[in-house]
Amino acid sequence: MSYLQIKNLHARTGDIEILKGVNLEINKGEVHALMGPNGSGKSTLSSVIMGHPDYEVTEGDILLNGESILEMDPDERALAGLFLCFQYPVAIPGVSISNFMKKAVDARHPEGKAPAGPFLKEMRENMEYLDMDKAFANRGLNEGFSGGEKKRMEILQMMMFKPSIAIMDETDSGLDIDALQVVAKGVNKMRGPDLGLLVITHYERILTYINPQFLHILMEGKIVMSGGPELVKTLEEKGYDWVREQIAVTA
Amino acid sequence: MPTLNLPLTETPSLLGGFDENLLEQSRKGEHALLQAKRTAAFESYSQIPNPDRFHEEYRRMDPALFQIAKFSPMQIPEAAATYKALAEDTNYDVVISVSSEGIAVEDCNGVLTDGNLVVMPLDQAAREHSTLLEQSLGAGMVPGEQRKFLDLNGAFWNVGFFIYAKKGVDLKGGILIRYHNDQADTVLLPRLVVVAESLTRFAIAEQFTSPDNVKTLCISGRELLLDAAADVKLVSLQDWGNEGLHIGEDWARVKRDAKVNLFSMTVGGKVSKMTVGCDVCEPNANAYLGGMFFADRDQHFDQKTLQFHSSADTYSNMLYKGAVKDNGYSVYQGIIRALKNCVGVDSYQTNNNLVLDPTARADSLPGLIIDADELACSHGATFGNIDQEQLYYLRSRGIPEGEARRMLVMGFFDEVIDRIPFENMQDHLHAVIERKFGV
Ligand SMILES: Nc1ncnc2c1ncn2[C@@H]1O[C@H](COP(=O)(O)OP(=O)(O)O)[C@@H](O)[C@H]1O
Ligand SMILES: [Mg+2]
């Protein structure tokens, strides 16, 4: 049994059905890539997994460690071990990074309050690892951040919260090579037997830094093809039109 | 020249008991300088038409709400009161308290001994610093404005202080003036005159309280005169009990390279109308106007700002943040005004409102009156409940809903509160927000 199981997932917002029966299993220790053209439903899938209130699950289930999470609030899902690196993280002026990180780490602590010393030390070390300026900690969360700074901020949180399943929604898009390498460095540090990773992207670019073991292709709300690392190469060479032809053949 | 005041429809008259008799009582036994100032203010007060609810400025806050005729002046004994220290006083160098027991002035850290910093009642200042007081009392007003309540205060103030910093004074702690009115049906009329010579740096806090269920009125007037490169911060905390009524006017004139910070925090009382204005009148003069207000349980708060640029190359930035809930009602009106030929003016005006439930209301009327051609100005207002995407973001990080909402409300206000120079005031405001927000 996989740690995260997505079974025949249908979801909609308003009257629009976006996910039309997604099946996907991710185990701890595995790295999966999810690719698909713009508008195929990748961000929607990650929002539905995290429990965004705008989306309604109409059919199917999501199981984490064997238990359905559909009735859980986003904060309960986070504490159960899910983490989402947002494609477009919101800015929250007035809430400083240090205050925000402390509250989020406190929420994970068995006594509701993490000791300040070790927390600050760990945060400082991780920020250094991601080439982030110490002064960042006093800034408003994502306030006036560049694209690269926002993505580093997301990776920093992933390193601090230590999820069992992390979803990275196009963390690579809009980044220059330097920022991309830093992001990849953070991800590769996190890799290991305790983390299952779903890397969503629509370029192959990040996959040269993060080698996934599995690749899935999402089109029009369905996973239409899955494979190993060799599929990344084929897709790179032949493009989504080839995928469309393949589906037409099998259908 | 355009002014803040459009024509008032009512003809001038004296308000309530604020007449010649009371003027004579107020003048009795006073230094001639103060007597002359009172008479001049009275003349002006009696000629300004009465504010009424048909006037744009008062359309959303009827002056009749202040029931001025019902109040007689608060009695403040002549004899000095003994100073009673509060825990928070450690934040300040000088603490003044004004109450039914009288006036106490405490120089906690001996900052007044060398005479470079002067903090004293106006009558003493009239004797010891008459030339300076003659020049400064009543001089903070933006030219051309007609402010009936400010002139009323000028004629009838019943407690007043003079703060004067000589060149180079750099005060670490700050000056606190605490007003407490426990006399039912009385009006407190405090006056504050602040003169900052060049290269001075200091901060002042004024705090107003009264017991719940005691009807009080306050009509306050303050003026700040900043000379070159002075840096002065003023924090005003309206924290009255549930029956407090408040009218306050703050005016600052800011000269070359000087910077004023005017904070107005309204959380207590029943009805409150604050007007804060600055005249940045020489190149590189800079003003920051920071405001916070939180109206709940039928509270009605009105705030008005005027950023007046009478010189080229001047800056002003205004940020007012308010929340309303439980039938609370808030009004913000602001004006940026720049005179002709004032090039290189930067002026910003932002009013953000958190409307926490549908029983509450927030109105915002930002405005510009520009005669100059070359300047950067922006003004804007926002309204809304807690942002759902921000809430989702925090919750997706494991922070429970209640805590996430609390963080967002605090964060909303902290953009202003974080700039207040007194930590105890910050803590106090956080506690008030927590209580009003009810988590
Ligand atoms: N909240 C929403 N309201 C309306 N349409 C939405 C919403 N979220 C997603 N969609 C639509 O669903 C489709 C999939 O969007 P998305 O999941 O963002 O795709 P991807 O991340 O793969 O680019 C798009 O057509 C998009 O317009
Ligand atoms: Mg997307």
The protein residues having their C-beta less than 5 angstroms from ligand 2 (an ion) are: A 42-43, 87
Provide the chain B residues 298-357 that lie in CB contact (below 8 A) with chain A.
none
Q: How many Cβ pairs within 8 Å bridge chains A and B?
A: 74
pLDDT of residue B439: 54
| Overall residue count recorded for chain B in this entry | 439
Tokens of A215: 């690749």
Q: Where are chain B's structural domains?
A: 20-385, 387-439
The strand ranges marked E within chain A are 4-13, 16-26, 31-35, 56-64, 67-68, 82-85, 92-96, 140-141, 165-169, 196-201, 214-219, 222-227
Q: Are B142 and B149 in contact (CB under 8 A)?
A: no
In tens, the pLDDT along B40-53 reads: 999 999 999 988 88
pTM of the shown model: 0.89
Q: Taking the CB of residue B376, how many other CB atoms lie within 10 A of it?
A: 10
Task: Say what percent of chain B tops pLDDT 70.
Answer: 97
Place of tokens 């700050």: B174
**Alpha carbon distance B377, B368 (integer Å):** 8
Which atom from ligand 1 is nearest to the alpha carbon of A44?
Answer: 17
CB contact under 8 A, B399 and A52: no
pLDDT of residue A174: 81
CB contact under 8 A, B411 and A95: yes
Question: How close is the Cα of A69 to the center of ligand 2, in Å?
Answer: 22
The type of residue at B274 is M
Shortest-distance Cα residue to atom 26 of ligand 1: A39
- Mean pLDDT across chain A: 94
Question: How close is the Cα of B397 to the center of ligand 2, in Å?
Answer: 19
Shortest-distance Cα residue to atom 2 of ligand 1: A13
What end-to-end distance do the CA atoms of chain A give, in Å? 29
Band (B274; pLDDT cuts 50, 70, 90):
very high
Q: Where are chain A's structural domains?
A: 4-250
CB contact under 8 A, A93 and B410: no
Over residues B59-74, mean pLDDT: 94
The answer for residues whose C-beta is within 8 angstroms of residue A241's C-beta and 6 or more apart is none
CB contact under 8 A, B397 and A157: yes
For chain B, the three-class secondary structure string (H helix, E strand, C coil) is CCCCCCCCCCCCCCCCCCCHHHHHHHHCCCCHHHHHHHHHHHHHHHHCCCCCCCCHHHCCCCHHHHCHHHCEECCCCCCECCCCCCHHHHHCCEEEEEECCEEEEEECCCCCCCCCEEEEEHHHHHHHCHHHHHHHCCCCCCCCCCCHHHHHHHHHCCEEEEEEECCCCECCCCEEEEEECCCCCEEECEEEEEEECCCCEEEEEEEEECCCCCCEEEEEEEEEEECCCCEEEEEEEECCCCCEEEEEEEEEEECCCCEEEEEEEECCCCEEEEEEEEEECCCCCEEEEEEEEEECCCCEEEEEEEEEECCCCCEEEEEEEEEECCCCEEEEEEEEEECCCCCCEEEEEEEEEEECCCCCEEEEEEEEEECCCCEEEEEEEEEECCCHHHHHHHHCCCCCHHHHHHHHHHHHHHHHHCCCCCHHHHHHHHHHHHHHHCC
CB contact under 8 A, A90 and B404: no
In tens, the pLDDT along B347-368 reads: 999 999 999 999 999 999 987 7
Q: Are B231 and B259 in contact (CB under 8 A)?
A: yes
For a substitution probing ligand 1, which of A12, A15, A34, A43 has the most ligand atoms within 8 Å of its CB? A43
Shortest-distance Cα residue to atom 13 of ligand 1: A39
CA dihedral in degrees (A102, A103, A108, A111; nearest 10)? Answer: 90
Please say if the pLDDT value at position A40 is more than 70: yes
Over residues A78-88, mean pLDDT: 97
Question: How close is the Cα of A230 to the center of ligand 2, in Å?
Answer: 24
**Cα–Cα nearest to A134, from A146, A147, A113, A120:** A120
Does B384 touch chain A if contact means CB atoms closer than 8 Å?
Answer: no
**Cα–Cα nearest to A26, from A234, A167, A221, A235:** A167
pLDDT of residue A57: 98
Please say if the pLDDT value at position B330 is more than 90: yes
Instruction: Among the bound ligands, name the one nearest to the CA of residue A37.
Output: 1
Shortest-distance Cα residue to atom 3 of ligand 1: A13
pLDDT of residue B52: 85
Give the CATH number of domain A4-250: 3.40.50.300
Question: How close is the Cα of A86 to the center of ligand 1, in Å?
Answer: 14
The CA distance from B396 to the nearest CA of chain A, in Å, is 5
ipTM score for this prediction: 0.96
Task: Say what percent of chain A tops pLDDT 70.
Answer: 99
Does B403 touch chain A if contact means CB atoms closer than 8 Å?
Answer: yes
Place of tokens 């590189």: B284
Place of tokens 């800079």: B286
Please say if the pLDDT value at position B338 is more than 80: yes
Helix (H, G, I), strand (E, B) or coil at A146: coil
Please say if the pLDDT value at position B207 is more than 90: yes
Over residues B133-142, mean pLDDT: 92
The CA distance from B386 to the nearest CA of chain A, in Å, is 11
Which atom from ligand 1 is nearest to the alpha carbon of A37?
Answer: 22
**Cα–Cα nearest to B31, from B98, B106, B121, B103:** B121
Output the ligand 1 site: residues, CB below 6 A.
A 13, 16, 18, 36, 38-44, 54
The CA distance from B385 to the nearest CA of chain A, in Å, is 14
For a substitution probing ligand 1, which of A10, A12, A16 has the most ligand atoms within 8 Å of its CB? A16
Question: How close is the Cα of B389 to the center of ligand 1, in Å?
Answer: 16
Question: How close is the Cα of A174 to the center of ligand 2, in Å?
Answer: 12
Band (B434; pLDDT cuts 50, 70, 90):
very high
